[in-house]
Amino acid sequence: QVQLVESGGGLVQPGGSLRLSCAASGSIFSLNAMGWYRQAPGKQRELVARITSGGRTNYADSVKGRFTISRDNAKNTVYLQMNSLKPEDTAVYYCNADPSVRYRDYWGQGTQVTVSS
């Protein structure tokens, strides 16, 4: 059974930082690149960061230089360190494989990130 559980979101002021965590089942974590996605109301879900099983990373231009994705293979956990947060980063953040279509039925509840003064 595939499980994805996100945590670490909250309310933060512009310029602040948050660290998100995603606990994943081994069946998805060990065989796929993992990504962090976000979705704001009325907008499409977008991939903001990804990391391969070998540790190579990619970022959307909107977060490059501010966000860092990492993974702990022993713990089946992927992290997203978010610094210099902006109001436009406000969204529900999800983790999943990249590409996610194979696991489309296994999206977790996500974790809400709100950046506001």
Say if residues 41 and 53 touch (Cβ distance below 8 Å): no
Give me the pLDDT at residue 28, please: 87
Mean pLDDT of 50-70: 97
Q: What angle do CA 7, 13, 14 make, to 5 degrees?
A: 110
First to last CA, the chain: 40
Q: Is 79 left (phi over 0), alpha (psi -120 to 50) or beta?
A: beta
pLDDT band of 26, cuts 50, 70, 90: confident
Give me the pLDDT at residue 56, please: 96
Looking at residue 78, its amino acid is V
Residue appearing with tokens 């595939």? 2
pLDDT in tens, 99-115: 988 888 899 999 999 99
Give me the pLDDT at residue 11, please: 98
pLDDT in tens, 29-47: 888 899 999 999 999 999 9
Structure tokens at 75: 């713990």
Average pLDDT in the chain: 95
